[in-house]
Amino acid sequence: GYKGLILDLRSNPGGLLQATVDVADEFLNSGTIIDEVDANGGKKSWSAKSGGLATKIPIVILQDNGSASGSEVLASALRDNGRAQIVGVRSFGKGTVNQLQTLKNCGDPAGCGALYLSVGRWLTPKGDQIEGLGVKPDIELPMTYDEYLDQGDIQMFKAIDLLHGK
């Protein structure tokens, strides 16, 4: 009897890429989840496999400017593959691939520290860069704290209305 699913990714800072890919895969039977492009232009793609648990239920995603990294990957994967609409405001824009590089040979037995180096960027299935730009919602609906207090969660209400229309 469910009409749809609302994924509330507001203020979600993301997580590990493989976990995000695994979640997206439950909602997709096919299609690209994310592309990674390195500094030399090399490209690696993650694609959905058939057999996800929720590939037919309509989805609306809520996001805000605190939605970053893995939540941006998930939102764009579902939207670009025609599985979801996004409501809210543009996301944070954290779409780099980082590697930890240990600093060595400094003469200190305790170690020299480490650096996180950005070694690639994520692109949405439609080829849009996430880093520095974020993911633009399908329905732009900002919400202030005062609006929330006076009117309730207008973004959630919009998501519910969209699902009722399906």
How high is the pLDDT of residue 166?
Answer: 64
Nearest Cα neighbor of 46 from 122, 97, 128 is: 122
Do residues 137 and 90 lie in contact, with contact meaning Cβ atoms separated by under 8 Å? Answer: yes
How high is the pLDDT of residue 39?
Answer: 87
**Bridge partners for 5 per DSSP:** 59
Q: Is the pLDDT of residue 73 over 70?
A: yes
Q: Report the mean per-residue pLDDT for the chain.
A: 95
The pTM for the full model equals 0.92
Do residues 64 and 93 lie in contact, with contact meaning Cβ atoms separated by under 8 Å? Answer: no
92-134 pLDDT, tens digit per residue, is: 999 998 889 888 888 887 778 899 899 999 999 999 999 999 9
Active site residue 69: yes
- What is the band of 6 on the pLDDT scale with cuts at 50, 70, 90? very high
Give the mean model confidence (pLDDT) for residues 56-61: 97
Active site residue 80: yes
Task: For residue 107, give every residue at least 6 positions away whose Cβ sits within 8 Å of its Cβ, in sequence order, or none.
Answer: none
φ and ψ at residue 154, rounded to 5 degrees: -65, -25
- What is the band of 59 on the pLDDT scale with cuts at 50, 70, 90? very high
Residue of 8, 25, 35, 80 with catalytic role? 80
- What is the band of 11 on the pLDDT scale with cuts at 50, 70, 90? very high
Residue of 35, 64, 69, 71 with catalytic role? 69
Active site residue 67: no
What's the rounded Cα separation, in Å, for the pair 116 and 98? Answer: 6
How high is the pLDDT of residue 105?
Answer: 82
- What is the band of 66 on the pLDDT scale with cuts at 50, 70, 90? very high
What's the rounded Cα separation, in Å, for the pair 34 and 31? Answer: 9
Give the mean model confidence (pLDDT) for residues 86-94: 98
CA R_g for the chain: 18
